[in-house]
């Protein structure tokens, strides 16, 4: 059965609402128990910034949303096909009493597995408008020789 556009949108909305509810309950549970068990409940552990990974014809692109940073605030490394992006985002107004706090500060890290052959020595990173983009060039395809017949040598 083919679903109408309205049914698809409604299902997506309901799934999003359910996901928000589950994340809200989980977040409340974590905040409650961390607050009860730690002497500094506002101190957060490492957080993970929103990250997109997509491919173009020539690159794998990792795009991380982390506003309020400087290019020198990032640590970017590639090891065993895993790209790691980390750093520390400082709260410029940390002495305030917040009424609501949704923006994450402190140490962050995200890791992305990079599939397929790449040109590791040509990776570039650009930070602009609150987004860090890591451009990973795909390795050029290897052209194989046409089919060749290999002769077996006689036994000695």
**Distance of alpha carbon 51 from alpha carbon 113, whole angstroms:** 12
**Distance of alpha carbon 76 from alpha carbon 108, whole angstroms:** 12
- DSSP percent split of the chain into helix, strand, coil, nearest 5: 25, 30, 45
**Residues with Cβ within 8 Å of residue 5, at least 6 apart in sequence:** none
Q: Are 51 and 110 in contact (CB under 8 A)?
A: yes
pTM of the model: 0.64
Quick: pLDDT tens for 113-152.
999 999 999 999 999 999 999 999 999 877 667 777 778 8
- Going by pLDDT thresholds of 50, 70 and 90, the confidence category of residue 89 is very high
**Distance of alpha carbon 49 from alpha carbon 55, whole angstroms:** 20
**Which residues in 70-98 are b (16+ Cβ under 10 Å) and which e?**
eeeebeeeeeeeebebbbebeeeeeeeee
Burial of 14 (C-beta count, 10 Å sphere; 0-12/13-18/19+): exposed
**Distance of alpha carbon 29 from alpha carbon 40, whole angstroms:** 16
Quick: pLDDT tens for 36-87.
554 544 455 899 999 999 999 999 999 999 999 999 999 999 999 999 999 9
């Amino acid at each position: 059965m083919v679903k109408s556009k309205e049914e698809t949108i409604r299902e997506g909305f309901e799934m999003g609402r359910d996901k928000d509810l589950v994340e809200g309950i989980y977040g409340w549970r974590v905040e409650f128990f961390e607050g009860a068990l730690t002497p500094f409940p506002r101190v957060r552990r490492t957080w993970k910034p929103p990250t997109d990974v997509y491919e173009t014809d020539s690159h794998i692109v990792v795009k991380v949303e982390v506003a309020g940073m400087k290019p020198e605030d990032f640590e970017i490394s590639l090891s065993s096909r895993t790209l790691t992006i980390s750093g520390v985002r400082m709260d410029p107004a940390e002495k305030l009493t917040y009424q609501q706090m949704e923006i994450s500060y402190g140490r962050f890290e995200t890791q992305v597995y990079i599939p397929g052959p790449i040109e590791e020595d040509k990776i570039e990173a650009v930070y602009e408008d609150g987004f860090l983009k890591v451009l990973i060039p795909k390795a050029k395809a290897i052209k194989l020789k046409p089919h060749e017949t290999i002769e077996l040598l006689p036994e000695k």
